[in-house]
A and B are shown apart, each in its own frame.
Chain A
Amino acid sequence: MSENPLLTPIHGITLEDYSAACAKLGSGLSEADVAKALGIEFPVWQEVSLLWPERMKQDSTFHIVTLFGQYFGEADKNPKFSNLKAEVSAQGTTNIEKIKTDKDFYQELEVARQVAYEYGLDGAQWIADQYAISIGDFQIAASLWNGQIHQDIQADYAGYNRRQDGYKKKYEQLFAAAQGGNLADDIEF
């Protein structure tokens, strides 16, 4: 048991369980499903989900929030949720698997999501519509790849930027074309 009092379970729910529950909520499960999987009643879950973020706010070392991110990414391994999955299409299942195993696929969609926002679209919803990947699964992939991407940047910063720029241009063209072009496309030097 950790000696850090901020890691003491809340109503019996550990940070691991709470983090996994948040990931599952993002993947399409309801709060009622999550409470049931954790073996607690709905009002108890709501209090838990109110108090864990408070612990994160109180922690000036950011240790709790760091652990939250780590456990969030490992949500699929949490036994309490092993038999509980949101309904996903066959295409969605394939893409969810791919985004967790194919780093380039994740990086491309991460850029696509950002560019979608820049064009006034809900980027997370665009990913869900196009690839049937929920925001929860996307965030799980993000926490799986973040460390590796950080290493890539340190190893080859220019190469990383070149790839990102390539994705950015591709999706800028895509979203601009869908909206009839950018508003200053006709202005030339």
Chain B
Amino acid sequence: MSGVLEKIGQTQDKWFVFLDKLESRMHEICTAAVPEIREVFEQDRDPYKRAHGHLLMGLRGQINQMRSKANEVREEKIFQFIDGITSELPGHGFFTGSHDRLYTFRIACINRHNLFEEKIAFYMSLLNNAAGEQDLEAAYQEQLQAFEAIRDQFSCKQCAGQMTIPDLFFIATYVTCPFCQTQNTFIPSTGAQMVLHQARSLAEQRTAHLLKTYEESKPKNSLLYRQYLRSMFDEWNKIVPDMAEENEKFYQRLLQDHLNSINHY
């Protein structure tokens, strides 16, 4: 009996120490990684921020390795241990102190593991948010200024007459020469092309306060969501007016999806 109790106590101690060590390593890795993630994000010139993405995935992968390791140990060293001890104890109807101790051991180990999972969630969130939100407004304003600086600096490929690009285009576009009517192909810069890809995210940043108001409403207020959605699309259309017609069709679809959903009141 005392031998069993001793084994249970030792196993619990080992499990707790094992998870302590994993958490300590997790803390060490993540706190060291946060400034590096931020630096890589800021210095990554790739508009899709792939270097940052790969770094983040690598770190999350290491946290997941720790999770897998803990899961394997829980299965092999805790649950199988419980099964082994249980088979050695008197059968059903013969509850002893060992049964009680085994039960409290099981609950303690599971609870400790739940705390470990909470730590994982905390550090995953820390890593995911380490770079902060990209300032899309600043990037957009930068593109508007860059366009203003160059919009008059084009000449017709046919007659060399000076041309003005009428709008900030995001894809290759024909521009007709006002002198000889030749169609010139205007190819926007990578930065201008990115405005199109980031337009929705920028519109979401501009209207994030409305979404927050909706999300904080209890019960969820559908009217607030519809106000947010309309405002978000209005902003989106302001950024890329040429896409307004297509955006409106998408708006109608999202609105319909929302009205059809069962998660609002």
Contact = CB atoms under 8 A, between A and B. Distances in A.
Interface string B239-251: 0000100100110
Contacts of B64: 118
B54 interface: yes
Interface string A23-43: 000000000000000000111
B171 A184 contact: no
A121 B57 CA distance: 8
B171 A50 contact: yes
B58 A118 contact: yes
A182 B73 contact: no
Nearest to B186: A43
A189 B29 contact: no
Contacts of A47: 171
Nearest to A122: B54
B15 A43 contact: no
B25 interface: yes
A118 B57 contact: yes
Contacts of B22: 184, 187
A180 interface: no
Contacts of A118: 57-58, 60-61, 64
A87 to B, nearest CB: 24
A136 to B, nearest CB: 17
A158 interface: no
A46 interface: yes
A183 interface: yes
Interface string B37-50: 00000000000001
B189 interface: no
A184 B69 contact: yes
A118 B171 CA distance: 34
B203 to A, nearest CB: 15
A113 to B, nearest CB: 12
Interface residues of B, number: 36
Contacts of A51: 246
A47 B169 CA distance: 11
B249 A58 contact: yes
B172 A43 contact: yes
B21 interface: yes
B209 interface: no
Interface string A97-121: 0000000000000000000011111
Interface in A128-184: 172, 182-184
A58 to B, nearest CB: 5
Contacts of A50: 171, 196
B61 A119 contact: yes
A42 B246 contact: no
B25 A54 contact: no
B256 A54 contact: no
B124 interface: no
A183 B173 contact: no
B59 interface: yes
A177 B174 CA distance: 53
B62 interface: yes
A82 interface: no
B171 A46 contact: yes
A184 B26 CA distance: 9
B62 A182 contact: yes
A184 B172 contact: no
Nearest to B65: A182
Given A42-B172, A58-B249, A121-B58, 14 more contacts: A46-B172, A54-B249, A58-B250, A59-B253, A60-B257, A118-B58, A118-B60, A120-B61, A121-B54, A122-B50, A184-B66, A187-B18, A187-B69, A189-B14
Interface of A: 41-43, 46-47, 50-51, 54, 57-60, 117-122, 172, 182-184, 187-189
6 contacts: A60-B257, A118-B60, A118-B61, A120-B61, A183-B25, A187-B22
The 6 closest A-B pairs by CB, nearest first: A120-B58, A118-B61, A46-B171, A43-B172, A54-B246, A58-B249
